[in-house]
Structure 1
């Protein structure tokens, strides 16, 4: 896990702006940093050493033939197996970085379909004077870019582009969609005007002589799931799925540094725990677990987590989110997020990575991805409920608080529906447009804020494709989501946990904003009320109603506070 950056185009000096980008992303890679400059290109890298800790694996990394130079963020989990495709190559390192650049040198873009991992990389072809970039299938690793003064600028984080001189202007359309619909933008967008994302499963090419960005998709998820076998019995499902799940978790332990994992009290964490220890049968006491809690029994999953670990050897690190610390932490996390983010749970999650780093654990595994692949959310079972926040019934947003001219920049947000099944279309939306992209962005920033690598074994593309492709009866039965996983889990975790209902991983955000944090919230809301795109009287009315308890969600109140913090932070 690292930070990449670069500039390609007609510049006289790349070292200074690329150096500024490297400095802005120093938290992403504190172990080494370097800049490569040549005619028409400057590449920067911040390294968080995970595989092959020796300095010979530092980047920018040059191919053995000398034609290519690469900066790479992420991990290629199956890089050892891929070495067989480079038979006879005299490897200089034991890194996945070298395997990646040599695969490209020998096979070109064909090698993308062989990669199992999370990645965003850029390769400069010295011969063709051409930059080639790619991002993993689901966009686990970030890649932002902009055309500025005729050159292509790219980086792992938006702040690096701003540090190099790219203009800092909010994208009014994306912001209006967020305020009105709760959308966090489309896969190719950011909240900043002129700054784009390379969508997951896509490549980017840029030749300075032409000055145009060329995007291509290399991952056809729809076609792949349509050609994935639908199995007809629990025995068949288990025979196919169990080895995939075991392999996906085992691969995420490829590292030369300590690896731990995050736990909540739900089904997904139960499975993660079971397969973490199955992959490491004699190392349970060395693989540490981390969980957060707030001290509120109405929300905390700590008792469930402790129950999960009752018969296991894994040490448990309990990380408390204190209401007294929250105002400071909210400001701190905002500086690393660069864009609106997901409220108090994201802030609590940040504390897990802080503690992991303090204990010397540089890699954490997480259970993201099961709900989307196996239809775990409540609205999958109730099509009339389309809320993207689990467990709420009232409207998520309050657009009437904002001036009509401001909201007029927004769109009628809609998503592709490539399948005949409404359930599959909802799952597809969540994987590529809403739930997963949002969570991955939040989580990448809070993990890298503390220089810790986050790995998502359940987002192994083989697992996602397999689960997504199965018939609805294996996902939803008797108004219960993830039905097959619950049956499967009874063999590996206590029955009382595998049958537990889906619970949103939450904090007392709603109560704290009405109670202990009311003055803090009011301060931000009053600041926001002074901005020219706000209808002050309407804002006051909604805020007063919220304080009286007339809402079952705090999403829109967090929007107001978060927006004010982001605007203040980026002035």
Structure 2
């Protein structure tokens, strides 16, 4: 996992490129490389060495003919199989997945994307045609940001790398307004910045002679509809387990040590059980975070699982005294609003893993979206928050000024399926929950120069589970029914059928009590800063007073205001 950057320009932009690379050096501290095609383009790369640790695999990577130059962020998990398939059509000189990716492009063209099982964003400069080809993985695990000026095209793995050289960080009023009014983090091509965009997941981009074109290469809906669904529950369970084991096996391909993150839920428990089938458990270290607050901590559930498996466990504690410093630090890595104290706590896991020289971690992201794990899938189709009951709205529109509210427009999401459940799952997978979780987690893992892999987001798994009938997903009050039936064969039954618990910290209590002085400092920064005109400040402070007095059904609005003040 690495960082990529590039500028397509008729000018010498090497100084600007080096600045971009320096700003995202945490993504790849092992090597920094660049390439220039004078008068046309320059490409750069920050390398975190995971597969083929030799310098021969450094990037930008040049093919044997000298025509193609690749910068690549991510991992191609099935690179060994692809290498065997390509065979004598390309002469390999390294053992890296990087070279397999470039060879696949040379042999298959853009069709190579359909053959890749991995997480990736990459760009290939064709020095003969003077053209750029760039692509992003199916679910957008790895980032690709870009911006255009009349004469130039910029791309990078992080927003800051682009804004720093363009000198332009104007906010997108629409995205910010929707964030405050509806909790949206933007559509697949949007960022919180007016002139910075992201290549949507499952799309590729071409740029030639000043013209950019973006096309979809991954059609999730079509793939799901092609799947032959059986009503044989045991057969379906068996097929899914086979895919799952293969996905985990592929994600253990690394030339560095691999660990994994665990919470107390059914997804993490399944990951733990299957990881130990694949590798000797005494070699695989597990990581979890806690805060010391029994109302929220999942440590007892985690410890129960670890007692069964005897994996070494690192317990990483988040202290309230750390919040002020860490929120500022993580905000600088995220570039956009992030998910509050749970993200801060999660970031400490990667920090500890790096200290332990474990550079690759697996986690259980993606099961709820493919197996309908959220309670609102069976009830409230407009909800997006697990466990939310009928209390006062999480979002405080009345605290926004009329000037900002005029830009707010609640997003309408596509509904490509013929039933409500799959449409909700589709929304969460491509527009709401998964995109923002992947962004949060990519930034905090990369902040500590570690790689995060999500075996449950293997596209084969997601498509297969998504296609299954509703009664395999929800049975009575039980969500993720088939998955729980599968898990109970591998872990204690009280874990496999434990209710879903949102991954939480005492954010509500800490903000209103221990950190109230800090919160007020952030609100004062807001009222005195460039964005004060976005708010009805009297209403903001009125809500804050109510919060301190105990009206704390949700802390999201408080965190939203802090998010803006720390950027």
- TM-score band (shorter)? over 0.9
- The 3 A distance-change label for structure 1 pair 204 and 386 is same
Structure-1 residue corresponding to 2:267? 268
Q: How does 1:72-151 map to 2 (within 5 A)?
A: 72-88=72-88, 89-151=90-152
Structure 2 distance, partners of 1:540, 1:476, is: 43
Contact 1:244 1:462 in 2 (8 A): yes
Structure-2 residue corresponding to 1:60? 60
Backbone CA RMSD of aligned residues: 1.1
- In the alignment, which of 471, 487, 491 is matched to residue 493 of structure 1? 491
Structure 2 distance, partners of 1:317, 1:480, is: 31
Structure 2 distance, partners of 1:385, 1:36, is: 48
Contact 2:74 2:142 in 1 (8 A): yes
- In the alignment, which of 455, 458, 470 is matched to residue 457 of structure 1? 455
Contact 2:508 2:552 in 1 (8 A): no
**Unmatched 5+ residue regions in structure 2?**
none
- In the alignment, which of 349, 353, 376 is matched to residue 352 of structure 1? 349
Structure 2 distance, partners of 1:536, 1:117, is: 46
Structure 1 distance, partners of 2:192, 2:452, is: 24
Greater Cα shift, 445-454 or 310-319: 310-319
Structure-2 residue corresponding to 1:508? 506
Deviation (angstroms), 1:313: 3.0
Deviations, residues 63-101 of structure 1 (Å, cap 9, x unaligned): 112210000000000000001222123321100000010
In structure 2, the residue corresponding to 1:215 is in which secondary structure? strand
Structure 1 distance, partners of 2:47, 2:101, is: 16
In structure 1, the residue corresponding to 2:166 is in which secondary structure? coil
In structure 1, the residue corresponding to 2:358 is in which secondary structure? coil
Structure 2 distance, partners of 1:499, 1:38, is: 58
Structure 1 distance, partners of 2:223, 2:201, is: 15
Greater Cα shift, 535-544 or 43-52: 535-544
Whether 2:22 is the aligned partner of 1:23: answer yes
Contact 1:387 1:396 in 2 (8 A): no
- The 3 A distance-change label for structure 1 pair 385 and 189 is closer
Contact 2:270 2:487 in 1 (8 A): yes
Greater Cα shift, 136-145 or 59-68: 59-68
**Unmatched 5+ residue regions in structure 1?**
567-571
In structure 1, the residue corresponding to 2:124 is in which secondary structure? strand
Structure 1 distance, partners of 2:292, 2:120, is: 37
Deviation (angstroms), 1:387: 3.5
Q: How does 1:220-299 map to 2 (within 5 A)?
A: 220-280=219-279, 283-299=280-296
Structure-2 residue corresponding to 1:162? 163
Deviations, residues 341-366 of structure 1 (Å, cap 9, x unaligned): 10000000110000000000000001
Structure 1 distance, partners of 2:305, 2:202, is: 36
Alignment TM-score, normalising by the size of structure 2: 0.97
Structure-2 residue corresponding to 1:395? 393
Aligned length: 561
Structure-1 residue corresponding to 2:482? 484
Structure-2 residue corresponding to 1:300? 297
Structure 2 distance, partners of 1:525, 1:165, is: 29
In structure 2, the residue corresponding to 1:260 is in which secondary structure? strand
Structure-1 residue corresponding to 2:526? 528
Structure 2 distance, partners of 1:90, 1:532, is: 60
Structure-2 residue corresponding to 1:212? 211
In structure 2, the residue corresponding to 1:496 is in which secondary structure? helix
Deviations, residues 253-275 of structure 1 (Å, cap 9, x unaligned): 00000000000000000110011
Structure 1 distance, partners of 2:92, 2:535, is: 60
Structure-1 residue corresponding to 2:442? 444
Structure-2 residue corresponding to 1:569? none
Deviation (angstroms), 1:434: 0.2
Structure 2 distance, partners of 1:152, 1:414, is: 30
Deviation (angstroms), 1:9: 2.4
Structure 1 distance, partners of 2:381, 2:76, is: 41
Structure 2 distance, partners of 1:392, 1:332, is: 33
Whether 2:200 is the aligned partner of 1:203: answer no
Alignment TM-score, normalising by the size of structure 1: 0.97
In structure 2, the residue corresponding to 1:133 is in which secondary structure? strand
Structure-2 residue corresponding to 1:176? 177
Deviation (angstroms), 1:166: 4.7
Structure 1 distance, partners of 2:59, 2:511, is: 45
Structure 1 distance, partners of 2:217, 2:270, is: 31
Structure 2 distance, partners of 1:199, 1:181, is: 21
- In the alignment, which of 417, 426, 429 is matched to residue 427 of structure 2? 429
Contact 1:21 1:160 in 2 (8 A): yes
Deviations, residues 431-462 of structure 1 (Å, cap 9, x unaligned): 00000000000000000000000000000000
Structure 2 distance, partners of 1:242, 1:186, is: 33
Greater Cα shift, 454-463 or 14-23: 14-23
Deviations, residues 322-378 of structure 1 (Å, cap 9, x unaligned): 001111110110000000110000000110000000000000001000000000001
In structure 1, the residue corresponding to 2:70 is in which secondary structure? strand
Deviation (angstroms), 1:181: 0.5
Contact 1:529 1:539 in 2 (8 A): no
Structure 2 distance, partners of 1:220, 1:132, is: 19
- In the alignment, which of 309, 313, 335 is matched to residue 332 of structure 2? 335
Deviation (angstroms), 1:234: 2.2
Contact 2:59 2:71 in 1 (8 A): yes
Contact 2:371 2:473 in 1 (8 A): yes
